[in-house]
Amino acid sequence: MRRTALLVAAIALLGGCSDEPTATETAADLQLRGTPAGVQQGLAAVRAATARFHRFEVADDEEYDFLFMNSCMVDQSGADRGGMGYHYVNTGLLDGQVSIATPEAVLYEPGPNGQLRLVALEYVIPKSAWTEPNPPVLLGQELTLNAFDLWALHVWVWKRNPSGMFADWNPDVNCDNAAAASAVAHH
């Protein structure tokens, strides 16, 4: 009996080492596979701190009211890397630091009925506000300097991104319903 129990435990352990998804793993679990535990804990803190922004009105009330570029962003490079959606920025947070609990921007994908679906967060430091020689780091990731002279990091905690949790573009995000969202948005 003891030998059988050990054999069952060994098989279970070997099964846990497989790269194949198990029946109980979610899309979020699969996206985090191989992510260090500290980063996973940070992402859990991000989700807890930002879940309230699923209601766009809450983000608006908390001064995420500047619509960056005044448009829904999709990759125009010809590489068709996907979209980012609408970036609503709290300009009062644009300084020389980032905090997991307070992203500088919340990203929404427009839905068919004009609703805005929270898909990601963006942490931002203006280039002029960063005085250190090395790039800023959050969640174990270096922020990258973009074409707008902003150190930025996208975090796709609210919509799975096949390109990765911290990729700039998400091939599963589009702006096909931007006209419907514009018709009901009050910004």
Task: State the Cα–Cα distance between residues 83 and 76, nearest whole angstrom.
Answer: 9
pLDDT at residue 80 in the model: 83
Residue 45 near residue 101 (C-beta atoms within 8 A): yes
The three-state secondary structure class of 108 is strand
Helices and strands (H, E) in the chain, number of each type: 5, 9
Domain boundaries, the chain: 37-184
* Tokens, residue 17: 């080492």
- Ordered mean pLDDT values, 10 residues apiece, the chain (187 residues): 41 36 42 67 96 97 94 89 96 97 97 94 98 96 96 98 97 91 57
- Name the pTM for this structure: 0.78
pLDDT tens per residue across span 102-120: 999 999 999 998 899 999 9
Residue 118 near residue 53 (C-beta atoms within 8 A): yes
Give the residue from 144, 58, 45 showing the smallest Cα distance to 100: 45
DSSP secondary structure code for residue 112 in this structure: T
